[in-house]
Amino acid sequence: MTPSNSDRTNALILVSDVDATIEETLKIAARFLATSDLDLFEGIFKDIDLLFRGQYPGYRSSNTKYHDFEHTISVVLATARLIHGCDVDGLGFQPRDILLTLIASLLHDVGLIQEKDDQEGSGAKYTVGHEERSIAFLREYLPGKGFPEEEIETCANFIRCTILSLPPAEVPFPSPEHRNLGYIVGTADLLAQMADRFYLEKLLLLYKEFEEARLPGFDSELELLQKTKAFFEIVAQKRLNDDLGGICQHMRAHFQQWLSIDADLYSESINNHITYLEALTEKCGNSLDCYLDNLRRGGIVQKSQGE
C-alpha distances out from residue 4 to 88, 206, 274, Å: 25, 30, 20
- Please check whether residue 186 is in contact with residue 177, taking contact to mean a CB–CB distance below 8 angstroms: no
What is the Cα Rg of the chain in Å? 19
pLDDT in tens, 201-231: 999 999 999 999 998 888 999 999 999 999 9
Task: Output the average pLDDT for the chain.
Answer: 93
Stretch 24-47: mean pLDDT, rounded? Answer: 97
Above 90 in pLDDT, residue 120? yes
- Torsion over CA: 196, 198, 201, 204 (sign): negative
Q: How far is CA 11 from the centre of its chain?
A: 17
Domain ranges of the chain: 5-304
- Fill in the DSSP letter of residue 60: P
Question: 157, 108, 153: which is closest to 130 by C-alpha?
Answer: 108
Above 60 in pLDDT, residue 4? no
Q: How many residues does the chain have?
A: 307
pLDDT in tens, 71-107: 999 999 999 999 999 999 999 999 999 999 999 999 9
Distance CA(277)–CA(175), nearest Å, equals 40
Q: What CA dihedral angle connects 260, 262, 266 and 270, to 10 degrees?
A: -140
101: left (phi over 0), alpha (psi -120 to 50) or beta: alpha
The letter for the amino acid at 146 is: G
Distance CA(78)–CA(101), nearest Å, equals 12
Residue 222: how many CB atoms within 10 A of its CB?
19
* pLDDT computed for residue 7 by the predictor: 55
Task: Give 17's pLDDT tier (boundaries 50, 70, 90).
Answer: confident
**Under CATH, which number does the domain 5-304 receive?**
1.10.1300
